[in-house]
Structure formats: structure tokens, C-alpha cells
Amino acid sequence: MRAWLKQFWATGDLFVWGCGAGLSLSLLMIGGLLFLILINGFGYFWPSDLIELTLKDGKHVIGQLAGEEVSPKGVPRIRVKVGNRDLYGLDYRWINTDQIVERSRPANLIILERREWGNFYGRVSALHKGDEVVTEGAASIQQALPPLLRQAAVPDSADAYSLLVADANGKEKSIPLEQVLRLLTPNDLSVLGKAWVYIGNVWAVLTTEPREANTEGGIFPAIFGTVMMVLIMTVIVMPFGVIGALYLREYARQGVIVRLVRIAVNNLAGVPSIVFGVFGLGFFVYGVGGTIDALWFSDRLPNPTFGTGGILWASLTLALLTVPVVIVSTEEGLAAVPREYREGSIGLGATKWETIWQVVLPAALPGILTGLILAMARAAGEVAPLMLTGVVKLAPALPIDGAWPFLHLDRKFMHLGFHIYDVGFQSPNVEAAKPMVYVTTLVLILVVVALNLAGIVLRNRVRKKYAGSAV
């Protein structure tokens, strides 16, 4: 036994297992996190069935099942999204399972997507034009509705259309058609039909404007703002990063100073992003922006034009944040170009610049691109510096439009990451906003992961390509 124990300690198999468990736990955590986001994000678009519950007290509840659990007191209960915020105040409701007498899925239940107050769940009885009834019954209303919804709404006119709907307990309500976005009967839809609705929902979220304090509708301005900001940043960071790297690798005399500078630049990537935000606010917004205002926009003062946060300052701040990434990666790319290339070029009579421009840079291009893509990925996910330099919860206009000068660098913008923070933590009805946050998170993660994957794949290729030839 003692010998066995001694051998057991010597082999250390226990510790190996411990290490293995550490790794698997880490992987499980990543997996679980991604799974959580994917399920919640992708689940948001699915038009799940409406259920009608009959309770012990005779009341009815219509809604979508949103979760099941055992309450802290040990009673099993379900969570139902009941919608109808205008009638009930809350979107979600807990119902103890022992209160439920019957669950059913009648085909005539509807989801009415509205501009205000969130979704309406219930039944539809009639479509009115002014006071007269146009048509009755869910099926025929659904037929008649799409062309009407496409027409420009005429609010408050006497012959405006309206829908007569009723909630689970038969309480009637008339909803003007200009409030209505869409009418769905999920219980009536086949899986294919639901898939079609699903695709439509995804499209709608990606392309439409937010509604109801960002908690519903789409996230198009946030996507647009993120992409725009990253693009402007890329345009700025690329020349600077490449020139910096060219200087450090090709022109500067290698020595202690360059080594120290390299370490310093490298370490700048580890400086907290909020510090860049503080710098951006003080230097770009108040310093440079304030000066621009004083020189060229003094007629608009004291309302600032450039002396307040805007997409240009945010992009510049992020460019500063990511320039070390580009420099390091470009330097790596330059260093990987084999010496023979340069020697061959110089030997054939090319000047140094010709060698760099025609031989070295093309060979180092994948390295530069890797750096750029990683920089874009980092920039797309940063939020803290943006909060100080120009991101807003709801931008009145996109940074690009048809009015001269088309690209408005002074405008504030929306951003996916900030959208998550704002909707998830600053909105009055966090419960109702959560699904939207998951969707935004999903989109942001997809963007960042895609950019990163591209960067990593590119980098691995570069490394392989030059692995043999470097001397």
C-alpha cells in the first residue's frame, strides 16, 4: 500500500487530472457562455406558440411560455410573457402551476405588434373604418390587413382604420391601425411558416430603427454606427500603424532606445481603455474640438459643434487605442520577410524605398492585414472610451446622409456595445428589455468573433508561409 501511495504521488496522476479538470472547466465556461447567448439571442426571433391558461379562479391568461422553475418557497411555477403593458403594467407574470386548471393553444390567438406599449396578446374580433365594420374574424382580418398597413397612416381622421381586440378575459380595446406593425397568429403557423416569420424577424431587427426607448424594434443605427466608427478608425490607424512599424523595423537604428520604445508601444495595448477615453475627452473633444469650434464655428457657440463628443473623436480615440496592435503585428510581418528578398532587391539596384514598397510591403501585407483586423475586432468591442467621446443611447441622425457634406464627423452615434449597456442597465423596464439585449449581444459577438477568426486564420497562414524561409 505504501509503495502504491509513493508511486501514486510520484506519477502525480492526481495533479494531472486536476489540471485537466481546470482546463475542462474553463472550456465549459466559455461554451456555456456562448450557448447562453446563442439560445437567448436566436430564440428571440422565434414566434413561439401562444398558450391560453385557465386558472382556478376562473380567469384566463394568454401569453408565451418564458420559463419554468421552482420558486424559493418550493412551489413549481411558470413564467408567462403576457404582454399588454397598457392593460397589465408588466410584461411578465409568474403563475404557480397548481393554480392552472387547463392549458390550451387555440388557433385564433393573435400577437399584435404595436408601436407603443409592446405586444398585444389576445383575440381580434373586427376591423373598423371609422365607425363601420369592414370585416370580422381573425382569418379575414389577416387577409385584409397587409395592404392597409403599407398605406401611409392618416392619424385622427374620421375614417381611420382600427382593430377591435380583446384580451384573455374578454376585455375589449380598440387599437388604431397606425399603431399596428404586424398581426401574427403563431398557433396557426406551420413550422415552415414560423421559419419564414423567423427570417423576417431577423431582417427586421437588423434593418429597422429602435422603438420604445430602444427596448423593441431594430438595432440598425447601432450596427451602422459601430461599422462606421470602426471604418473611420481603420482609415486613420492603418497609415499611422504602418509608418510607425516601418520606422521601428526598417529605418530606426536598432538599439536600446528602439527596444524600450517597442516595449512602451507594446504596453500601451495593456493600458486600460477608459484611460484612452479620458485622454480622448480631454485632448480631442475639449482640446482639438474646442479649438476648431473657436476658429471656424464660433457663430454657433456656446453650442459646441466639434467641442463635444462625436464619431470622429471616438474613432480617433480608438485609433490611438489600437495603433499598438497594428504596429506590433506589422512589425512581425516585416520581420518575417526573408532577408534574401531585400538583399536581392538591393542587389538589383533598387533604392531602399523601392525595396520596401515593391518587395517588403507586399510580402508583409498579410501581417498588416492581421493587425488591422485584430484592431477592428478590439475597436468593435470597446465601450468604455466611447462613453466619454461621443456615443449616445439614441442618435437622431446617422453619421451619413444626403445633406452636404454627406459624412458628418461631428455627429454622435449609436454603438452595439453601448446599446447593451444602455438597454440592459439604464432602461426603465429591464425585464422587457432583456431579449433585446441578448439579440444585440449576439450581433456584437458575431461581428467580433468573425473579425477575430479572420485575423487568426490570416496570421497562421503568414506564419506557415515564412516559417521555412526565414533565416
Give the nearer residue to other proteins in terms of CB position, either 58 or 72: 72
The stretch near other proteins (CB under 8 A) out of 175-183, 208-216, 350-358, 393-401 is 350-358
* Number of Cβ within a 10 Å radius of residue 234: 20
Compute the least distance from the CB of residue 409 to other proteins, in Å: 20
Compute the least distance from the CB of residue 462 to other proteins, in Å: 15
Q: How many Å apart are CA 367 and CA 282, to the nearest integer?
A: 33
The residue type found at 271 is: V
Give the nearer residue to other proteins in terms of CB position, either 161 or 306: 306
Closest C-alpha among 166, 34, 55, 143 to residue 100: 55
Q: Of residues 12-51, which lie at the interface with other proteins (CB under 8 A)?
A: 12-30, 33, 36-37
Compute the least distance from the CB of residue 143 to other proteins, in Å: 41
The residue type found at 25 is: L
Compute the least distance from the CB of residue 309 to other proteins, in Å: 9
Compute the least distance from the CB of residue 351 to other proteins, in Å: 4
Any contact of residue 296 with other proteins (CB under 8 A)? no
Q: Of residues 112-171, which lie at the interface with other proteins (CB under 8 A)?
A: none
- CB burial of residue 371 (10 Å; 0-12, 13-18, 19+): buried
Q: Of residues 414-453, which lie at the interface with other proteins (CB under 8 A)?
A: 417-418, 420-421, 424-425, 430, 434, 437, 441, 444-445, 448-449, 452-453
Compute the least distance from the CB of residue 273 to other proteins, in Å: 7
Q: Of residues 239-278, which lie at the interface with other proteins (CB under 8 A)?
A: 240, 243-244, 246-248, 250-252, 261, 263-268, 270-278
Identify whether the C-beta of residue 240 lies closer than 8 Å to the C-beta of residue 251: no
> Among all chains, which residue has been given the C-alpha cell 470597446?
382
What the block records as the C-alpha cell of 181 is 406593425
Any contact of residue 388 with other proteins (CB under 8 A)? yes
Q: Of residues 55-114, which lie at the interface with other proteins (CB under 8 A)?
A: 72, 74
Q: Where are the strands (E) in 271-384, listed by range?
A: none
Give the nearer residue to other proteins in terms of CB position, either 51 or 439: 439
Closest C-alpha among 349, 37, 223, 206 to residue 358: 349
What the block records as the C-alpha cell of 356 is 520596401
Any contact of residue 353 with other proteins (CB under 8 A)? yes
Q: How many Å apart are CA 453 and CA 203, to the nearest integer?
A: 24
Contact residues for 150 (Cβ-Cβ < 8 A; gap 6+): none
Q: How far is CA 181 from the centre of its chain?
A: 24
Q: Which residue in the set 105, 339, 352, 461 belongs to the binding site for other proteins (CB under 8 A)?
A: 352
Compute the least distance from the CB of residue 18 to other proteins, in Å: 6
